Structure 1
């Protein structure tokens, strides 16, 4: 409906220009047609008159009045008003909203989809946790954000791929292997000092126990240096398998698991540094190689190769992003923890120095999660020794509740995750509130089917019988769904879907308390069953976009 309003508005504006009642100037980029927050301001509002007034050197209200007069007689609108300094408020005729219900229902599961992305190739890289331990609750939020965003962008017409970058090279891997080796020695009775900077979690002991079970004392008398590669590989394989299992149980899959080893083994890191050197962005100082990131807005220059010849993590990250760009993606989306805030400018500097536009990369920062239990912050996990794992949260509240709660706030806002609330069966629990709406609608339709009413009376359903304020509120909210999906995709804000779902569920639950869906009036019953099936259809589609199930019974 917004597109129809926009089309009518622009047509009227162009007609006025062709009649020379307004100067022949284009519609500015600052023009918007939005849904007002208050009902009294209409179904949609436009700032077109305000946007063009300065260049036209006319009063905004005079421009707005001329546009309204040009639209007089258009039966699509119930009324059009000029408000305030020159806003145009559009009130759409109720019968247009009622007709829209049939369009939405006929669209089926495709409703909400669009071609806004125009098939542009997008790579969404998220989670990418180092394989040095199990996923924690913060990784879970990043996983929910990344996977949901990918689903939403696909629905909005982007060609999306999901990637997990495995940091399986460097000192951290050696530290991991050494941690397992020392635990292995300790379990077999050899006392050894365990450095505090080594990985402390019980999962390290579990890996050591598995090695003992499969290889016994094979490595007991071997020095660490000789068998470290075995312990590194065994630990990485074991932890990676656990990460993949946790993500699978969380409903998250990836198109590619990309190993950092590929970057180093292929020589891409050296090629990237050479490319930057040829472009004049690399210089040598004190025996180290530096990248002039300050030339691209970073706060200081960054080392890419230390004086001892060791490459930095940043050097590998530059090469990895070059690899992504050379694969031909139109947009790279990275989803990182909030602690990576300072890392964004240097990576964007690399993108630009390598000859690509800065906006080719967009980074979403995911804020920390505080777990609450009984109103108090949950204590650290006894399992990991350092953090609460995603696995623990899944076992506590389940996949659906976890995914939904992770999306109840914008990703860059800190989130308090109340475990007790997420398990509660009541309207204060957001995921239960939404899923219960779908289950209740499914029950209504099942009852109607048992009575021989649905879908038998679909052809009899007359939307014109749905004329109450509650009816129209729901119809308007259903119509908004494609725009919500589109804007969520373009803004990289998957939480917009959970907001939409909560509002739609609220409208339905309110409607349910005031109206009977199956009553004595067959015509009204058929109309309301059409409404019920359409709400159910949109709820299911929206839940699917954030990876949450739509149960028929609860």
Structure 2
């Protein structure tokens, strides 16, 4: 990547300067090179002079000029300037930027692949919704984010396993069974006072009716009420999980593993984990319950592991599950939780530290809320009454691609307003459609070229024909794609790829639009060398758009119907 190359050039000069002053260059802060906000400040910029000035006993402006003088001699740079009291701005020779196009075309689908992870085994656990009801739109954001992050980390060189933690133990499954059983009694003519703490959604009625109308109903003959409730819980849980898997598949999400909470109890892992904490002195008894000393790890209060009733808490099984992750050989685990689980972060990291694991190897990402906007109004939703729009309904309404892009259009740290009408619109105001249309438009240009007898030959291209500033700007942005992947992977922020694709699509669409009034922007016009050079640039754009869309789990269509522009 060019950014890393420039940082290396700067580091080489600094090392030589440090040697003359008997400084240990390895102890100096690292060199940061970034893409400036506007082209007037160069192709890349660095604040290194501000960071290292005191180490060399110089003012930032003096150090910047010293570095710029040395670096200007490199053949890669058109010029190196100092601005703003010490910022170093690097202007690359245009041919160096345009040479990136050859790399893109040569690498194709692998352009942007990195080796940050070096094949390390990493787990991304996400969604993990209780199989007690349909996924809602908040779960959808978690699902799309987790899947895109897993794709991104795989692109960055990690061996990634996507896992769904199945909460199939505990009171929620018995409550599910009870809810279905009571609805079965109602459908059979009994008058039932349905408890407020049972699951209220109409899907419970549908499951109850399905059981009554099926041959499965006869399996309940001779069972006690408690046994019937347990059976109904298992039946409903399996059915709901199947529907959850179907909704996820509709969105292009397939998990590598579903891990059962129940299996942790069957194997004795939960009790074994508590015994280890007790042995290390982090467990005590009080009020008939067993407590973990989580305050010793920054939590606001100690947490119960085993209730006075003898029942394990969810926290206890969660600790055992995280121990299990590392026992399976994952060097790093990423948990993607809803924002309402923020209070659990400190205690789970504390428990893992107490057990001897490095809490820095656990990343916990909190996904903020989603507001559905329909007709300019926020859609009212209540999970308690099950009066919410399901993830499946949203997918049916707007489609997989728009759904995924809109979920990834903002940082997961920010609340998201999902405009349903905008997501369905086929026009430039819909960013998902706009990016896909840019890819399809380039495909149509190549189709038109073929119809005109123009054969694209990437092996014989004279890039000197690419003389427009817009062409250089697009090539410059294409060169940034690996840097975007690098930053997004390191910061666990797949939305950076969404932003990048929209910027690239806008640059191309603006370029294409100018061809309507100026022949110099027309692709299939003029002498052959000129046409081939422009097709070379467009092929590079098409490859990067496709790679980025596929990373986000979005299709890159060859053809689309024209919307209003």
Q: Is the shorter-chain TM-score for this pair beyond 0.5, marking a shared fold?
A: yes
Matched, 1:527 2:533: yes
CA deviations 1:37-70 (Å, max 9, x no partner) are 1222111111222222222222222222111121
Shift of 1:439: 0.5
Structure 2 match to 1:518: 524
Quickly say closer, same or farther: Cα 1:381–1:215, change in 2 above 3 A. farther
Structure 2 match to 1:548: 554
**Structure 2: how far apart are the matches of 1:27 and 1:516?**
53
**Structure 1: how far apart are the matches of 2:381 and 2:337?**
22
Structure 2 match to 1:287: 288
Residue 123 of structure 1 aligns to a residue whose secondary structure is strand
Structure 1 match to 2:255: 254
Structure 1 match to 2:517: none
Structure 2 match to 1:408: 409
Quickly say closer, same or farther: Cα 1:504–1:384, change in 2 above 3 A. farther
Counterpart contact for 2:13–2:67, Cα < 8 Å: yes
Structure 1 match to 2:233: 232
Structure 2 match to 1:33: 33
CA deviations 1:454-490 (Å, max 9, x no partner) are 33x3233212221221011101110111111111111
Shift of 1:133: 0.2
Structure 1 runs of 4+ with >6 Å offset = 381-384
Structure 1 match to 2:3: 2
Matched, 1:417 2:418: yes
Quickly say closer, same or farther: Cα 1:23–1:49, change in 2 above 3 A. farther
Quickly say closer, same or farther: Cα 1:381–1:53, change in 2 above 3 A. closer
Quickly say closer, same or farther: Cα 1:291–1:24, change in 2 above 3 A. closer
* More displaced stretch, 395-404 vs 112-121: 112-121
Taking structure 1 as the reference length, the TM-score comes to 0.97
Counterpart contact for 1:332–1:362, Cα < 8 Å: yes
| Unaligned segments of structure 2, at least 5 residues | 515-520, 561-565
Matched, 1:145 2:168: no
**Structure 1: how far apart are the matches of 2:403 and 2:240?**
22
Quickly say closer, same or farther: Cα 1:382–1:158, change in 2 above 3 A. closer
CA deviations 1:120-153 (Å, max 9, x no partner) are 2110000000000000000100001000000000
* More displaced stretch, 202-211 vs 9-18: 9-18
Counterpart contact for 1:380–1:386, Cα < 8 Å: yes
| Unaligned segments of structure 1, at least 5 residues | none
Taking structure 2 as the reference length, the TM-score comes to 0.95
Structure 1 match to 2:211: 211
Matched, 1:167 2:155: no
Structure 2 match to 1:311: 312
Structure 1 match to 2:135: 135
* More displaced stretch, 25-34 vs 129-138: 25-34
Matched, 1:297 2:298: yes
**Structure 1: how far apart are the matches of 2:15 and 2:455?**
47
Q: Map 1:283-362 to 2 at 5 A.
A: 283-362=284-363
Across the aligned residues of Structure 1 and Structure 2, the Cα RMSD in angstroms comes to 1.8
**Structure 1: how far apart are the matches of 2:265 and 2:224?**
27
Counterpart contact for 1:438–1:550, Cα < 8 Å: yes
CA deviations 1:489-548 (Å, max 9, x no partner) are 111101011001100000100111122111022111100001111100100000000100
Structure 1 match to 2:518: none
Counterpart contact for 1:203–1:383, Cα < 8 Å: no
**Structure 2: how far apart are the matches of 1:364 and 1:178?**
34
Shift of 1:307: 1.4
Residue 371 of structure 2 aligns to a residue whose secondary structure is strand
Counterpart contact for 1:445–1:532, Cα < 8 Å: no
Counterpart contact for 2:14–2:25, Cα < 8 Å: no
Counterpart contact for 2:381–2:387, Cα < 8 Å: yes
Q: Map 1:101-116 to 2 at 5 A.
A: 101-116=101-116
CA deviations 1:402-443 (Å, max 9, x no partner) are 000000000111000010000111111010010000000110
Residue 26 of structure 1 aligns to a residue whose secondary structure is helix
Shift of 1:447: 1.2
**Structure 1: how far apart are the matches of 2:380 and 2:294?**
41
Matched, 1:67 2:89: no
